[in-house]
Amino acid sequence: MLSSIRSDLAIVKERDPAARNVLEILLCYPGVHALTIHRISNKLWRSNFPLMPMKLLARVLSQLSRSLTGVEIHPGARIGSGVFIDHGMGVVIGETAEIGNRCLLYQGVTLGGTGKEHGKRHPTLEENVVVGAGAKVLGAIRVGENTRIGAGSVLVRDVEADSTVVGIPGRVIHQSGVRVNPLAHSALPDAEANVIRNLMERIDQLESEIRVFKNCLKNGVENKNPEDMLANKAQNLKDKEILEFLGDKPNQ
Ligand SMILES: CC(C)(COP(=O)(O)OP(=O)(O)OC[C@H]1O[C@@H](n2cnc3c(N)ncnc32)[C@H](O)[C@@H]1OP(=O)(O)O)[C@@H](O)C(=O)NCCC(=O)NCCS
């Protein structure tokens, strides 16, 4: 435990140019206070001393820490060494969350559950992950090492190592230093993106229909109804997907 606390102090010195000496870090960094108290409450949580309600003590200690620091860490969370919670206020870390060594969390970060699962229901951050201010990482997902999660993002899916993720829902914009085109069709990862892709295809289709109409008007059509010249693709499966996404009921 002492070596973890030593690493927590050392990482602040290394990562925050504003930290001038150990005394200043000990006195002025609520993230350090919260982590130090967590290391004690985590020991209580895992101990099986029979005569005392250790889990209750651990939770009371973690709530005291929350009042003092604004950082709420469930005593069951597993936190590696050299972790830095910068600024701290509003950070929430759930019971089954796991945080690897040298991770950096800014203020307002939530490592929470989605409210649907039991058992392991909070995220696992591998080593050296950075979670930007206000980002929410939800569910029993795994975030690969060296990944950076943008401020304000909401991440609900696994992410491979060395990625940069931004947005709601979080999308990978860089992978191992290579920019991922967020509108590349093969890279579209979710319902929102599928709907955008479907809308783009529908716009394409409408544009070609308008072209046919314009040609008909321009050149005239002998014995033909222009509508017969168009494929009737209204209300296909993709329309249904778009309506469902918008919360409307598709026509039966
Ligand atoms: C996500 C982050 C790590 C990306 O940094 P980066 O690799 O330098 O990326 P860039 O700044 O080149 O941005 C790449 C693209 O992502 C967008 N982007 C960056 N951060 C974003 C965010 N948080 N939310 C949404 N989009 C974001 C940029 O606008 C840019 O889009 P574009 O290519 O269409 O112009 C960084 O922007 C971030 O959010 N860091 C967290 C910092 C933090 O919380 N600080 C708190 C200090 S108190």
Query: What is the 3-state secondary structure of the chain?
Result: CHHHHHHHHHHHHHHCCCCCCHHHHHHHCHHHHHHHHHHHHHHHHHCCCCCCCHHHHHHHHHHHHHHHHCCEECCCCEECCCCEECCCCCCEECCCCEECCCCEECCCCEEECCCCCCCCCCCEECCCCEECCCCEEECCCEECCCCEECCCCEECCCECCCEEEECCCCEEEEECCEECCCCCHHHCCCHHHHHHHHHHHHHHHHHHHHHHHHHHHHHCCCCCCHHHHCCCCCCCHHHHHHHHHHCCCCCC
Query: In this structure, is residue 252 part of a structural domain?
Result: no
Asked if residue 165 and residue 71 are part of one domain, the reply reads yes
Asked if residue 213 and residue 177 are part of one domain, the reply reads no
**Cβ 82 vs Cβ 101: under 8 Å:** yes
- The rounded Å distance from CA 167 to ligand 1 centre is 9
Query: In this structure, is residue 165 part of a structural domain?
Result: yes
The pair of structure tokens assigned to 227 is 């509508």
pLDDT 10s digits, 69-89: 999 999 999 999 999 999 999
Query: In this structure, is residue 251 part of a structural domain?
Result: no
Asked if residue 167 and residue 150 are part of one domain, the reply reads yes
Asked if residue 175 and residue 62 are part of one domain, the reply reads yes
Domain boundaries, position 96: 2-187
Q: Tell me, what's the pLDDT at 133? A: 97
Is the predicted pLDDT of residue 240 greater than 80, yes or no?
A: no
Residues 9-38: what's their mean pLDDT?
93
* Ligand 1 atom nearest to 149, measured from its CA: 1
Residues 107-111: what's their mean pLDDT?
98
Query: In this structure, is residue 146 part of a structural domain?
Result: yes
Asked if residue 177 and residue 196 are part of one domain, the reply reads no
Residue 180 CB–ligand 1 contact under 6 Å = no
Is the predicted pLDDT of residue 200 greater than 50, yes or no?
A: yes
Residues 165-191: what's their mean pLDDT?
72
Number of compact structural domains in the chain = 2
Asked if residue 88 and residue 203 are part of one domain, the reply reads no
Q: Which carries the bigger pLDDT value, residue 116 or residue 159? A: 159
Residues 151-174: what's their mean pLDDT?
94
Asked if residue 149 and residue 98 are part of one domain, the reply reads yes
Is the predicted pLDDT of residue 185 greater than 50, yes or no?
A: no
Angstrom CA distances, 221 to 201, 206, 207, 209, 215, stand at 27, 20, 20, 15, 9
Residue 62 CB–ligand 1 contact under 6 Å = no
Residues 45-61: what's their mean pLDDT?
89
Q: Tell me, what's the pLDDT at 194? A: 73
* Ligand 1 atom nearest to 152, measured from its CA: 23
Specify the CATH number for the domain of residue 77: 2.160.10.10
Residue 139 CB–ligand 1 contact under 6 Å = no
Asked if residue 182 and residue 210 are part of one domain, the reply reads no
Residue 106 CB–ligand 1 contact under 6 Å = yes
Residue 216 CB–ligand 1 contact under 6 Å = no
Asked if residue 124 and residue 8 are part of one domain, the reply reads yes
Asked if residue 132 and residue 33 are part of one domain, the reply reads yes
